[in-house]
Structure formats: C-alpha cells, structure tokens
Amino acid sequence: MTKQEIINKLNKNHKDFAKMIKGLNSRDFMFSPDNKWTAGQHLDHIFRSVSPLIMAFTLPKFIIRLLFGKANQPSISYDELINKYLSKLEKGGTATGKYVPKAVKSALKEQLANHLLEVAAGLTKKIDKYTEEQLDEYVLPHPLLGKITIREMLFFTIHHAEQHHNTVLRNTEQKLVYQHTALG
C-alpha cells in the first residue's frame, strides 16, 4: 500500500467509524453486550490509540531513530500485519494501560467523534511529511506487536478503526436479537 493509499484509507475508515457512531441513538451508544465495551468506549479506545501517533509524527526523525531505532527488516504486507495482530488477540492480547477506555456518556458522542476526526486528519497531514522509504525505515513501539515500522503502524491503525467499527455494528445487531428474544 502506498503512502497515498494509506492516507486515503485512514481517512475513510475513521470517517466511516465516526459517522456510524454519530448515527447511533443513545440506547445503542450505551449498549454493553455481556459487560463488554459500549460503542462510546470503542470510540474512546480508537481516539486513545490514534492520539499518540500524532505526537510520534511530531518528533524529529532523528529522535524517533534515537528512541526506537531503525527497522532491521522490510515492512511486512497489510495482510501479514493484520494476521500477526489477530494472532496476538487470539492468544489473549487486550488493551492495557492508557488504551483502556473510560465510560463515555451519550451526551459526549458528537464531541468525541469530532475529536477523533480531527486527530485522524492531523495524522494524515503528518504522514505526508514522510517519504515512502522513511515509512519503512523508522519504527515505533506497539503494545502487542512490539517495534514495527511506521508503515506497519499505519496498517494497524487502518485496520483498528475498521475492526472496532465492525464490532459496534455486531453489538448493535446483537442488541436487536436480545430485544426480539425478550419480546418473543
């Protein structure tokens, strides 16, 4: 995936996610299947995951190299990275520390969704300052995947928004099944 394709996909996935979240009514936004995350918590988690990337991309490249080193192998493909990530999840990997979302009130839905869009737009502007080669040269730490190239981190970020978008949609459908079963 080229830098421009990454930028386009990042924008699209975060816009689609924010739009879907904004379209939820309060009950769907606050629904928690089996004490799992609400849609608001999914939104907060994605916001918490994208925000640190802005800071990383703000650092001068020599600082990134100094802090995290340089890639010692080429970037893997999008599909390879996602398979690696899903494997980590299957082995019990979960969000920890600052990536664990807080409860989000329905009244904050629009505000947080708009903040996510601002952060995602800011990230895509920062990406544009990197060359194709630099996306494969520098590495950043990922909580589950370890040090990965910037390109791989962006692949993850693309997938991550889509993954949580799909989870919220499934949860909303599950809510309808619960309601139908309760009424039946």
Question: How many other C-beta atoms can be found within 10 angstroms of the C-beta atom of residue 147?
Answer: 15
Residue 142 pairs in a beta bridge with 146
Work out the average pLDDT over 92-115. Answer: 95
pLDDT at 31: 92
Percent of the chain with pLDDT over 70: 95
> Using N-to-C axis directions, what is the helix angle for 39-58 and 150-183, rounded to 10°?
170
- Convert the pLDDT of each residue in 58-95 to its tens digit: 999 999 999 999 999 999 999 999 999 999 999 999 99
Which domains, and CATH codes, for the chain? 3-183 (1.20.120.450)
pLDDT classification of 180: cutoffs 50, 70, 90: very low
Q: Are strands 139-142 and 146-149 parallel, antiparallel or unpaired?
A: antiparallel
**Three-class DSSP category at 93:** coil
pLDDT classification of 176: cutoffs 50, 70, 90: low
Q: Which residue is listed with tokens 């802005």?
A: 54
Residue 182 has pLDDT above 70, yes or no: no
Question: How many other C-beta atoms can be found within 10 angstroms of the C-beta atom of residue 167?
Answer: 15
pLDDT classification of 33: cutoffs 50, 70, 90: confident
Residue 44 has pLDDT above 50, yes or no: yes
- The mean pLDDT of the chain is 93
- Of 72, 68, 74, nearest to 140 by C-alpha is 68
| Distance (Å, whole) CA 133 – CA 47 | 27
Residue 70 pairs in a beta bridge with 138
